[in-house]
Structure 1
Amino acid sequence: MSVQTPPKLQKLAIQTLMRNEAEVISSLEELPPLLFQILFKEAFIVRQTNLIKAMVATWPETYLPVGSLMKRPDMEILQAVQDGVDMRLNREFYTRRGKLQVLDMRNVHHAYWNVGNDNDYSARTSDKEQAEKFLPRYALRQHLKVIFPLSLASRQSESNAFFLNWAQQRKRLLYFCCIKMKIWPIAFQDIRDILKIFHLEYIRELELNIDWTLLELKYFAPYFGKMKNLRKFMLSPIHKETYPITNVTRVTDVQCLDKFISQFSKFNCLQHICLKRVHIIKDKMNQVLGCLRTPLETLSIIHCQISQAFVDSFSCSRSLFQLKHLEIKGVTLDAFDLTHLRGLLEKVVDSLGTLDLSQCHMKDSHVNVLLPALTQCSQLTDVNFCYNDFSMPTLKDLLEHTVNWRKINVEEYPAPLECYDELNHASRERFAQLCEELMDTLRQVRQPKNISFATVANTCPKCRGKYVYGHGAKLCSC
């Protein structure tokens, strides 16, 4: 009981103090920092906007992660925070206490607000360290920095539109930064106006879900190139008809594409690339990899058309030699020679943790090519070979050669071809029998943790479902 009493008394004292808002505001210059923090959190809970505004203006530390308190968009609270910033900008307003340099408006969990625990002090990183975590030291000497997450679409959310309108009017007085930006279909002119508000060198993650033309992609290139500290990049055209061509041959189209691709040479720390349904880069992927200045940790190629020339570049692309995650999913590989993919795997045996080669229409011959390298991949934790065409002998051979996969946690395999009849329907009994045989084969090599075998979709003649076998068979819904 005694352990719980102090926090209860503290909360009661805070609630009593909060009832006199005017007195609290008048005493902000004298409050100790920890009490300042506790009061600010309570002001959010009870929605005392006047107090929030005054406390933002007089914040006694350099870093304020206010976004982690805004669990959902709230126009009234957002207005109060922005008004507090405006008070700081007002030359008639003076506070000897206000030290705020970074206002972080991202809605992410933050240990900074873990007040009231015995280990408060250790959980809260110093305000200076928090500020420097997101922005370089030279930037901290300039205007107040405002970090805001952006997900841009043709129909902006009310909170996004409200913030952007406010930011547009203050872009010369404040330093607007976005760590993670997502762009959905939006008029190119609109996105260009929005990008001019932000300092693009602070974008670390960019996700482009766009339906722009090649010409618009060219116009976007200069802005893209300014994101020199980009770490993660995803490009995913959402409308298939946007890029109906798979071979860019017209001179103007080639120039547009080359202009965009050339920007990859400007990134100082790009480590993760994901391309989804990007058919226009079919013959340019080796050019993209050749532009990179730093080794990749993640390469994801999903539902894209690629060329043999790109596959052949795997074993000689130095930007891939430190890969931790390789995903080639939904890419038709049945007609390709995978010798150079094997060469890549041989170079990353000590770093590769996840490998996804699902939905690639691979045959037994492809497994035979890759097997010498797969055997050596001792750091694998997750593998996925589902939706490929492997026979029972090939699957057994593959499993027998996984003795070095001591770190494997999740592994997914296709059901053997022997499960299916001429109509591509899988026999339940045959499926369960063969999968149990495969499990027996694996147990002779090592003890599996989380493993599954699955038929392709639409294999059940009744419900068109699929069968999945893990630790026991989970058959379709019928």
Structure 2
Amino acid sequence: MLQCVLGVGISLGVSLLFQWFCEAGPLACCLPAAMHSLVFLCAQKVVSHHSTVRGALEFIPKELYPVLFKAAFMDKRTLVLQDLVQTWPFPVLSFQKLLRKCQHCDRALLQEKPNKLCVQTVILGVVTYLNEALEDRLHSQSRRQRLQVLDMTGLQDDGIDQGPESMSLWSRTVTLAKACIDVSKHQSKCTKRTSKRRKGPYSSAVALPPPQPVSVEVHVDLFVNSTSYGVLKDALQNNANSMLRLKCRDFRAEELPIASTVGLLEFLDPTGVRQVDLRFNNLGLSGLRVILPHMAKFTNLVSLKLPYSNIDVRRLSAGMEGSLHYFATQLSRLSCLKELNLGSSRLSGKLRQLLGDLQGPLESLELAFCYLLPNDLAYLSQSLHTPTLKKLDLSGNNLSDSLLQPFQHLLEEASSSLLHLDIMECRLMDIHLESLLPALCRCSQLRYLGVFGNPLSTRGLKNLLQRTMGLLYLQLVIYPYPVDCYSENLPWPPTSSNLLNGSVDEEKFSRVSAELQQMLLTASRTDAVWTTNLCRHNTLDYFNL
């Protein structure tokens, strides 16, 4: 007993010390930015003693919960993390707010791959909180609801280098779906037990008002494929009556049949969805004709991605012409649409028909490998979309021939707003790039430029770097291996396949890479990253532009 009292007393003292540090303002945060504040150092020390924290939770000021949560998450103190979640004193527990860079810790955990055990622990903490609330209801005990929303949106997931300790979006989706199902089952059992307990042996029912139900809404991004379809469908079916409910923000489905995709879309809360991403689903115009009407209910839909949908408008029958018109009509009903991805669709000559009736201008347009024609780019450069474009992806379209001049004009029209430009594998040689540079250098806000897979020489790359040095916001350039750094002679002009599959002389390329880095250093532009690595650096997402 004495040991318990001492533990609580020590914990209370530490919590008061925390409070003093929090109120101390600049003194508590006077350490260099690369280090943690004294408050955070204290938090790390406290969360390292689980038994002490558990005994002192009721005494710890609620203002300290956020810094304790971040310290426990960062140091993987899962036992403490679960206790913090179960006793969370605020209505909202948001990963975006708790794991970002803050005054006490400059490490942005939100930009790192989420730790699997920590994410699982947070979910388990919420499930335990709800199960305890169910038991309280079973015994007719009231519980003041604290936690109402768990916001798990914004966690890092680029689908690359997912190690054993990290948790992918697919895994988070499955884990949450299973948690929802488990809570629903436990809820059903408790409801039956409550019903039996309220019935006496001689009377039909005892008139006792049930305690107010407790529930938690999980704001989350969902990624589903054929493997996880069943469990997610079961979870969403129970959404309306479950104490643990999923509210989807960004929905992504891969390789799903049309009927399965439609079924899941129907279960989603229409007010929460801002993005629908359907890829590798082989939908075609006929499939899109079935699916798109179900998106009209998403009144806040900002982003629609339909890459690899197997659309080919180059040889349309009369019936397919009608499907294309219907597709365009359905797109025009999405009044909030700002981002559209139709990558790897063959849209030759049909861009005006597809985009001409949209209610507002797009800010992100991805048309990679779309076999565009000059009149497509001519329309785009004159459309309402171009002056507002922040992100444009024309990768895989042959910009070296008849598209070069229309693209140059498009670039000029979009120069005031463009932040992200992808023109990878566009067959651009030094001479083509030279003609584009005046328009490119007018894009004063440009942050990202992708030119990988183009047959550029070392001289052409150096010219590109030198001429774009004045673009002060340009932070990331993905450039190709120079054609003069290949071990064997390339066919001329080389195709994208020749460049991707050719053998690069690493010694030659190392010298070129060092020269480019020296040019950046000489120009005091070490803030800019020039790299050939397509996977290591994340490109700009529309919602982060």
TM exceeds 0.5?
yes
Query: CA offset at residue 334 of structure 1?
Result: 2.8
1:344 aligns with 410
1:162 aligns with one of 234, 240, 249: 234
The verdict on how the C-alpha distance between 1:46 and 1:362 changes in structure 2, with shifts beyond 3 A counting, is: closer
Structure 2 residue aligned with 1:261, among 321, 325, 328? 328
Partner of 2:358: 292
**1:266-345 to 2 correspondence within 5 Å?**
266-279=333-346, 281-345=347-411
Structural mapping, 1:3-18, within 5 Å = 3-4=13-14, 11-12=54-55
Distance in 2 between residues matched to 1:93 and 1:79, nearest whole Å? 27
Q: Which of 164, 167, 183 is 2:253 aligned to?
A: 183
Aligned mates of 1:298, 1:284 — CA distance in 2? 18
Q: Equivalent residues in 2 for 1:73-472 (5 A)? A: 73=176, 75=178, 78-80=181-183, 94=209, 103-107=216-220, 150-157=222-229, 159-167=231-239, 178-200=248-270, 202-209=272-279, 210-237=281-308, 245=312, 247-279=314-346, 281-420=347-486, 421-423=488-490, 426-438=504-516, 445-452=523-530, 454=532
Please give the per-residue CA displacement for 1:295-339, whole angstroms capped at 9, x wherever unaligned.
323222233322222222232122131222222223333333322
Q: TM-score, normalised by structure 2?
A: 0.59
Report the count of equivalent residues: 390
The percent of aligned pairs where both chains have the same amino acid is 21
Measured in 1, the distance between the counterparts of 2:336 and 2:91 equals 38
Runs of 5+ consecutive residues of structure 2 not aligned to the other structure? 1-9, 17-45, 59-86, 94-120, 154-170, 196-206, 491-501, 537-545
> Alpha carbons of 1:316 and 1:182: their partners in 2 closer, same or farther (altered >3 Å)?
same
Shift of 1:363: 2.0
CA offset digits 1:135-181 (Å, max 9, x no partner) = xxxxxxxxxxxxxx55444444554133134348x69xx99854322
Match of 1:53 in 2: 134
CA–CA distance in structure 2, aligned partners of residues 265 and 329 of structure 1: 25
Checking the alignment, whether the CA contact within 8 Å between 2:233 and 2:264 is kept in structure 1 is no
Q: Once the 2 structures are TM-superposed, how far is the Cα of residue 273 of structure 1 from its aligned partner? A: 1.9
Distance 1:211 1:266 in 2: 23
Deviations 1:20-71 (A, max 9, x none): xxxxxxxxxxxx9939999x98983794764143579977569722475996
Letter in 2 for 1:328: L
- Secondary structure of 1:220 counterpart: helix
In structure 2, relative to structure 1, the CA distance for the partners of 1:260 and 1:431 (3 Å cut) is: same
Distance in 2 of aligned mates of 1:291 and 1:46:
47
CA distances 1:171-194 after superposition (whole Å, capped 9, x unpaired): 9xx998543222333333344344
Instruction: Label 1:150 to 1:419 Cα distance change in 2 as closer, same or farther (>3 A).
Output: closer
Equivalent residue number for residue 64 of structure 1:
148
Retained in 2: the 8 A contact 1:73–1:159? no
C-alpha deviation, 1:94, in angstroms: 4.3
Distance 1:77 1:363, change over 3 A: closer
Amino acid at match of 2:324: L
* Cα separation, 2, equivalents of 1:283 and 1:12: 69
Tell me, which stretches of 5 or more residues in structure 1 are unaligned?
16-31, 108-148, 457-467, 469-478
CA distance in 2, matches of 1:176, 1:451: 39
2-structure distance, mates of 1:216, 1:250? 16
Displacement of 1:400:
2.6
Distance 1:55 1:332 in 2: 66
Between the aligned partners of 2:307 and 2:511, the Cα distance in structure 1 is 41
CA distance in 1, matches of 2:318, 2:442: 45
Distance 1:419 1:52, change over 3 A: same
Secondary structure at the aligned position of 2:238 is classed as helix
Residue identity in the other structure for 1:258: H
